[in-house]
Amino acid sequence: MTNAIAPTEVTWNEAGLVPAIVQRHGTGEVLMFAWMNSEALHLTLTTGRATYFSRSRGKLWVKGETSGHHQYVRSVSLDCDGDAVLVQVDQVGPACHTGAPSCFFTPLDTYQGEPK
pLDDT digits (tens, 9 = 90+) for 16-57: 999 999 999 999 999 999 999 999 999 999 999 999 999 999
Here the CATH number for the domain that contains residue 64 is: 3.10.20.810
Q: C-alpha angle 69/73/79, rounded to 5°?
A: 120
Domain count, the chain: 1
**Looking at residue 2, what is its pLDDT?**
47
Range of the structural domain that residue 65 is part of: 16-91
The answer to whether residue 11 is domain-embedded is: no
Q: What is the number of other CB atoms lying within 10 angstroms of the CB of residue 111?
A: 8
pTM of this prediction? Answer: 0.86
